[in-house]
Amino acid sequence: RQQEPREKTKRNAASAGRGMSPFRLCSASAERAQQRCARVYRTVCARLGFVPELAVCSDLLDFGTLAIDLELCSDAQAESLAVFLREAPPGVQQLILYSGRCLFSGDRDYRARMRAVQQRNRGSLRHHEARLQELLAALNVFSSLQGHGLAILDLSGLSLHHPAQLLLAFQCLPDLTALQRLHLGGCGLRDKGFIQLLPHLAGRGLLRLSHLAVDRNGMQDVRLIAKFMRSRAERQRRCNAVPLQVLDLSGNPMLGACGSRRGTLLHVVCASLCNGLLLRTLHIRCMCLTAQDLQPLLLFIWREIARRQSEVAGAYRSFPLRSVALEGNSLDCEFVEAVADGLELLAVLHSTRFGRARAPITAVTTSAATASLLARASAAARIPGAKAVPPAAHAHAPRRRRKRSQRRRPRKKREHSPPRSLNRTSSLPILRS
């Protein structure tokens, strides 16, 4: 009699599970895993005699996120964090171990709180090599057991300049098969650290990686970036790797620098896009770029616009790049607007060609100086037959309907001319040779 109610409840639960949709089953299992994560964290803190933080418990319970600021992390919190990672509970989807100094250095209250914590702990965990290595070793244990469910790994601001710390930090990457975002900004990698990271990025792992941030790392060798982009493009063609949504190279002013010029980096980016790299957003903020360094990107955009207007081979392929972040560089507004409007025009050309948008290309507005600036751009690009039409030549002229006999005639081969809508886009800057 006592076993009958238990069997009945089991049968009801099984029938209810069969009636649920797969999405609801996945969400229910994820909620149970997140509840288990929060329970394990409270158990670990109680075992060590510490009071668990409510913010950490709520993040684990609601989002499956473990977010710890290492600048404000006490010795007790560091010990409980290492033990929790060694327990390796399922359900942790986002692991964020960052330094708030990189994000909130301008906040006076945060600086005062950080100084108080460092005085109490005799330094921060970020600069304590023994504690940091212990934390990275616990991270390797967690990744070896539950790394297949981790989607975001953020180690921004950690001091990874020591070879042993680099080895421990990158040793967990092969186990993160579902990783989508990797943030390593401000870690002091330099070229030696990126050389150790490159085999993991260029290998067969991390096929789902869509966000990569290596900003503020003091890198200089642009050949490493070229090798990464070339291998990523090949893996996107052969291994079905996902497109790169965001690539952040900001804060590396010496990357590809040759004296006072830094145009080598944009040459590498344009060559990788020609070779088939699928890159949506590129961040190159605070790179000390000038108008002369931006010239390869502008000419590349102009050539792509001309190819799509002339309907030559490959023009039906969509242009992957959607936006370029150029804040913090010594550039005039017209150069930034020229890049943004050129990318917008490429997107509009692709959408109108495939019937996704019936709006005319003239929806992209411009100033009156566009024609002369585009004429300089086409002359620098050396495109045969490219002529810049004044804005008033066909700005508001009505389009006449062709006769039926004329529409049936085969098209004559002719050299392509600049697109009609280029005088309606924002101005491309004057390119001086």
Burial of 89 (0-12, 13-18, 19+ CB in 10 A): buried
What number of helices (H) and strands (E) belong to the chain? 15, 8
What's the gap between Cα 109 and its chain centre?
31
Place of tokens 């009505």: 398
Q: For 173-221, what is each residue's pLDDT tens digit?
A: 999 999 999 999 999 999 999 999 999 998 888 999 999 999 999 999 9
Q: For 332-382, what is each residue's pLDDT tens digit?
A: 888 899 999 999 988 888 776 554 443 344 444 444 444 444 545 555 544
Cα(162)–Cα(136) distance, integer angstroms: 13
Place of tokens 């244990």: 141
| Per-residue pLDDT, 376 | 52
Q: What percentage of the chain carries pLDDT values higher than 90?
A: 42
Cα(70)–Cα(72) distance, integer angstroms: 5
**Long-range contacts, stretch 32-35, CB < 8 angstroms, 24+ apart:** 32/91, 33/64, 33/89, 33/90, 33/91, 34/60, 34/61, 34/62, 34/63, 34/64, 34/91, 35/61, 35/91
**Alpha-helix runs per DSSP H in 147-294:** 163-170, 190-202, 222-238, 264-274
Cα(227)–Cα(213) distance, integer angstroms: 16
The average pLDDT across 263-291 equals 92
- Model-level pTM? 0.77
Q: For 50-95, what is each residue's pLDDT tens digit?
A: 888 899 999 999 999 999 998 888 878 888 999 999 999 999 999 9
CA end-to-end distance (rounded Å), the chain: 93
Q: For 116-170, what is each residue's pLDDT tens digit?
A: 888 877 655 655 777 888 999 999 999 999 999 999 999 998 888 888 888 899 9
